[in-house]
Amino acid sequence: MLTLYHHPLSGHSRFIRVALGEYRISVDPIEEHPWARRREFMVLNPAGTLPVLVENDRAVCGAGPIAEYLDETRGGGLGEHRLMPREPVDRAEMRRLLDWFNVKFSAEVTDYLVTEKVFKLQMTTPARQPPDAAAIRAGRENIRYHLRYIGFLAGNRNWLAGERLTYADLAAAAQLSCIDYLGEVPWDEDDLARDWYARVKSRPSFRPLLADIVRGMPPSPAYADLDF
């Protein structure tokens, strides 16, 4: 059995959870609060970041490395269900978008909104700080152009990186799902992005995410609605 250290509203953790679901890989999930810098967790990943996947007492740290590890160890025999494209040029495009959502979107949207509205409330003193209103405003503004870009991609391709579902779709949907939990995605601003997200949201691998509940903070009314 594999072990996954994650947080329910970590976009990177959610990406790996959905990828594991697509590959039908069972894991033992352990919720981790990385800001606590728990000694046992820091031994696994000195960077103190999520997610961390442990198999055979070896830790694979970070969303990108875990995705590559899953492809190298499980992807070869999955045919059309493989989440990493076969052709180098298609892999390059998938990796470009993976970087876009796991780095750029995360830094410009998820880190602002989830950190300020969720993580800071879960921190204990002295680490706990009041939410930064300016950061929340920045996240709300930044998500709009990211949503337009997703709509542009979805309007010109079957999936974000090309004709098949890839890690790019899962990473984008995972980040958006965190913001959607908070009710902060302006879905009415881009129908193409909303329709693409509805397709990903309807996949069986996404169901565990839609069942997540953060204590003291219920999800937005349409969060688990497949016909939102």
Segment 163-174, tens digit of pLDDT: 999 999 999 999
pLDDT value of position 128: 66
- Residue found by looking up tokens 């309807």 in the block: 202
Segment 44-80, tens digit of pLDDT: 999 999 999 999 999 999 999 999 999 999 988 888 8
Distance of alpha carbon 42 from alpha carbon 48, whole angstroms = 6
pTM attached to this predicted model: 0.96
Q: What is the mean pLDDT of the chain?
A: 95
**Is a pLDDT exceeding 70 seen at residue 193?**
yes
Q: Give me 98's structure tokens.
A: 């993976």
- DSSP H or E stretch at residue 130: none
pLDDT value of position 124: 75
Percentage of the chain exceeding pLDDT 70:
98
Chain centroid, CA 124 distance in Å: 25
Selecting from 3.40.30.10, 3.40.50.10490, 3.90.1170.50, 3.40.50.2300, what CATH number does the domain 2-81 have? Answer: 3.40.30.10
Distance of alpha carbon 93 from alpha carbon 89, whole angstroms = 6
Burial of 20: CB neighbours in 10 Å, binned 0-12, 13-18, 19+? buried
Q: Give me 91's structure tokens.
A: 């892999």
Does domain 88-206 bear CATH number 1.20.1050.10?
Answer: yes
The answer, yes or no, to whether the previous bond of 126 is cis (omega within 30 of 0) is yes
Distance of alpha carbon 83 from alpha carbon 218, whole angstroms = 31
Percentage of the chain exceeding pLDDT 90:
89
126's CB contacts (< 8 A; 6+ apart) are none
Tell me the pLDDT band of 215, cut-offs 50, 70 and 90. Answer: confident
Average pLDDT of 145-150?
A: 98
Domain boundaries, the chain: 2-81, 88-206
